[in-house]
Structure formats: structure tokens, C-alpha cells
């Protein structure tokens, strides 16, 4: 299908498994990855690769203008009963025939997801989403509250499809005495779990202005422990004395 269309279907060459409470509820070498504008990617499994004995049809239904009317199923596995954990388009509209007879599961309602024999977090990766990480000797500086919070000539520039460039600064080049660790964490399917810090200079505080991947996923070990600053939560971020583009 054209990349300009709202929905694309990509056959996945990976073995995909969804697991609840120790039970593998879906296991397939023929899953389809659905890419829909404005939504995260979703795996759809052929019914033959789903433990239908662990599903119970629900009375719930929804309508999608691009796919049609969805039926839902509850999931029963181990000691778990998960309402409306799965859905499928039993009679999709013509444009979405590739997922007829397939079943999808809510990512967060599963206990674990495996691609081959590695656990994946957050959501499936979009094959058209790219991350490039490049070491740069350009001088980076972060200012807040009249203080130079960070200054370095060895930051990692992270270029990610559709997002502003992010700058990861080695902890040795950051005034960590101005950082206060927060309880907040977030998950990136590509990089891992991010921890957050607030900035505090005198009476000035900028909450959750900084994040770092202290234990990143294996694909991005170089950003381990490096600090990244939210541009809108500091007074200034500059590269070679210039404000970076927002794009």
C-alpha cells in the first residue's frame, strides 16, 4: 500500500508471542504489523495462532472508519481475567481485508511480549521509524537560573524520525548538584526506561526538565547515563552558540 494511505499492513518475519500470567496466548510466525497514522503499531495474529480456548467473546464493539466494526474478547489465563483484552475485524471494509480473520491484543494488557526470544517493551517498532546516534564535537551548553548547567564538546546527537534532535551529555560534563531525582519514569520502545530529574538553582525550579536512560536497551548502550534536557524547561540550549532548530 502507498505510504500516503492512512493504513499500511506489513507482514512480520519475526516470531511474535503475547503472554499473560505465564500462558502464551498468541504465538505466530505470520503476524501482520498494522501501521496507522496517529496510532502506535499493532500486531495482528492469525486466528490459528491464537489460543481461542483462552478467549471469551465480549458484547463490546467499536467502529473504525478505516477498518470497520471490531468485535472484542475477554482473556482468561492463569489467575487472570482481562476484560476486552483482544479485538478483531471479522468483516472488515475492503481496504482492510488483510486483517480479516486476525486478532490483536492490547499491548499493556499482556504480561510480556516477545519478538523471537527477546522481550520488547512499549509497543512494536515501526520499520519506517529510524534513530541515528552521532558523536559531535560541537560545543553544547545548557543554561538555567543564571548558571551553566552543562557544557561539553562530546555530546551524542540523537536524530529520530519525526522528532526534534535530542542532545545527550555525559554526566561528567553536567552540574549534577543542580539536579534532583524525581520518581517519574517513562518507557520508550526503542531506547528503554527513562528516569527524570528536576533542575533547582536557588529558588528557581524546573520540574522533570532532564532525563537519562540509566540502563538503555542493548541497541543504544552509548547513551547510558547521559543527560538530556527539555528545551522548553531550561533558559537556553545552544550548539556552537546558536539555538538549535525545533525541527
* Residues 13-28 pLDDT 10s: 999 999 999 999 999 9
pLDDT digits (tens, 9 = 90+) for 46-102: 999 999 999 999 999 999 999 999 999 999 988 889 999 999 999 999 989 999 999
pLDDT digits (tens, 9 = 90+) for 129-160: 999 999 999 999 999 999 999 999 999 999 99
Per-residue pLDDT at 247 exceeds 80: no
Per-residue pLDDT at 3 exceeds 70: no
What's the mean per-residue pLDDT of the chain?
94
Per-residue pLDDT at 218 exceeds 70: yes
C-alpha triplet 38, 40, 43: angle, nearest 5°: 135
Residue-level pLDDT at 244: 85
DSSP at 245: P
DSSP per-residue letters across 16-47: EEEEETTEEEEEESS-EEEEETTS--EEEEEG
| Domains annotated on the chain, with CATH | 7-119 (2.170.150.40), 131-239 (2.170.150.40)
The span from the CA of 228 to the CA of 136, in Å, is: 15
Q: Which pLDDT band, with edges at 50, 70 and 90, does 38 fall under?
A: confident
Q: Which of 67, 61, 7, 74 is nearest to 37 (CA)?
A: 7
C-alpha cell at 203: 529558588
Amino acid at each position: 500500500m502507498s505510504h500516503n494511505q492512512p493504513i499500511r499492513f506489513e507482514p512480520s518475519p519475526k516470531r511474535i508471542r503475547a503472554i499473560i500470567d505465564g500462558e502464551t496466548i498468541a504465538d505466530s510466525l505470520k503476524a501482520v504489523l498494522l501501521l496507522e497514522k496517529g496510532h502506535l503499531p499493532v500486531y495482528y495474529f492469525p486466528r490459528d495462532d491464537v489460543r481461542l480456548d483462552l478467549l471469551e467473546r465480549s458484547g463490546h464493539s467499536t467502529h473504525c472508519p478505516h477498518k470497520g466494526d471490531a468485535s472484542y474478547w475477554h482473556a482468561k489465563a492463569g489467575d487472570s481475567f482481562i476484560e476486552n483484552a483482544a479485538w478483531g475485524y471479522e468483516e472488515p471494509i475492503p481496504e482492510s481485508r488483510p486483517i480479516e480473520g486476525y486478532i490483536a491484543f492490547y499491548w499493556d494488557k499482556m504480561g510480556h511480549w516477545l519478538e523471537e526470544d527477546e522481550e520488547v517493551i512499549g509497543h512494536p517498532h515501526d520499520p519506517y521509524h529510524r534513530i541515528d546516534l552521532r558523536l559531535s564535537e560541537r560545543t553544547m551548553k545548557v543554561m538555567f537560573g543564571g548558571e551553566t548547567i552543562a557544557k561539553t564538546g562530546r555530546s551524542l546527537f540523537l536524530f529520530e524520525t519525526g522528532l526534534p534532535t535530542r542532545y545527550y551529555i555525559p554526566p561528567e560534563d553536567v552540574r549534577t548538584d543542580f539536579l534532583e531525582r524525581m520518581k517519574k519514569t517513562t518507557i520508550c520502545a526503542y531506547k528503554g526506561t527513562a528516569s527524570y530529574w528536576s533542575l533547582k538553582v536557588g529558588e528557581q525550579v524546573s520540574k522533570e526538565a532532564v532525563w537519562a536512560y540509566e540502563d538503555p536497551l542493548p541497541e543504544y548502550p552509548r547513551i547510558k547515563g547521559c543527560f538530556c534536557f527539555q528545551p522548553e524547561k531550561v533558559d537556553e540550549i545552544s550548539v556552537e552558540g546558536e539555538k538549535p532548530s525545533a525541527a
